Amino acid sequence: MNKQIESLLGNPNFTKGEFWNRVEIVCGDEIIREGESGNSLYLIESGSLRVLGHVDIDGDRHVNPGVCDLKAGDVVGELVLFDSGPRSATVQAVEDCVLIEINGDKLMSFLEVHPDVGFQLLRSLMSVMVGRVRRNNDKIFSLLAWGLKAHQIEKEL
């Protein structure tokens, strides 16, 4: 489990029912839907989730490829702490899960009052996000190279 979130959940001022709840999710259920609004982030206690993208093909066809799988100890939905825009992907349970659902607005209010906890938590979340950006960059560059080769465009560059 994420050390900083585990510490946060153990904080007597960060009470269950007010700031966070434990939820059980059945395999196949979506916890986040791309394009919708939301203010929760989730820590996976058990089970696994899949992040799905939405790709339009030829206008009337679309696919939802799996971008990555997340397991116990991973956090998802953390962008709500940094951006109020719509959700950027769909997240679906690939097996039954137990999640810690944390209210993002209440978390930020708590962190303003407890900046020592906030700094460590936000630093940890930024590390997670940077790792995801690096992995996604690798995937994007690989797909770009594949596309260039498949269409023999690399010869033109």
> What pLDDT does residue 157 have?
61
What is the sign, positive or negative, of the torsion defined by CA atoms of 71, 53, 104, 120?
A: positive
- Determine the Cα angle at 13 with ends 7 and 19, to 5°: 85
> What pLDDT does residue 4 have?
81
* pLDDT-derived band at 63, boundaries 50, 70, 90: low
Distances (CA, A) of 123 to 119, 126, 127: 6, 5, 6
Please, what is the average pLDDT of the chain?
A: 87
> What pLDDT does residue 62 have?
62
Helix axes 115-150, 104-113, angle to 10 degrees: 130
Model confidence pLDDT, tens digit, residues 26-57: 999 999 999 999 999 999 999 999 999 776 67
Model confidence pLDDT, tens digit, residues 74-116: 999 998 888 889 998 999 999 999 999 999 999 999 999 999 8
Q: What SS3 state is found at 36?
A: coil
- Give the count of alpha carbons within 13 A of 145, CB side only: 6
> What pLDDT does residue 113 have?
93
> What pLDDT does residue 64 have?
58
CATH superfamily of 3-156: Jelly Rolls (2.60.120.10)
Mean pLDDT of the 123-134 span: 83
Annotated domain spans of the chain: 3-156
Provide the β-strand partners of residue 124.
none
> What pLDDT does residue 55 have?
67
